[in-house]
Copies of this chain bind each other. A is one copy, B any other.
């Protein structure tokens, strides 16, 4: 702790506690990655549809009005971040949500943007 606290209104002891308790680098890294996944309209739409139904790639593509390839890439992203899971049947891949937090995340975020109301 060095150049900190040049300003007034700060209880130095409390600030030291804040620094001591700060999330470690890995936590920050994983948090920002997690939020980045939600920071894209295409992925949000996919997550919304999957929160209602298990769906195959072609149907998702038609629902979000994007090419099959684009959707496939995004599903891969969501899969790697453990937000969706796949079930294969023949050549068809059925995707569904793999995280019970997605719903809560949506709710809090909607609460935010509805209160700010532009």
Which among A39, A41, A92, A110 has the highest number of chain B CB atoms within 10 Å? A39
8 A-B pairs besides A82-B116, A101-B111 with CB distance below 8 A are: A3-B62, A7-B59, A22-B45, A27-B110, A32-B40, A34-B112, A35-B36, A36-B40
Contact of A29 among B22, B41, B49 (CB under 8 A): B41
Q: How far is the CA of A5 from the CA of B56 in the complex (A)?
A: 9
Q: What residues of B have a CB within 8 angstroms of the CB of A18 in the complex?
A: 49, 52-53
Summarize A's interface: helix, strand, loop or mixed.
helix
Q: How large is the interface on A (under 10, 10 to 19, 20 to 34, 35 or more residues)?
A: 35 or more
Task: Report the minimum CB–CB distance from A67 to chain B (whole Å).
Answer: 13
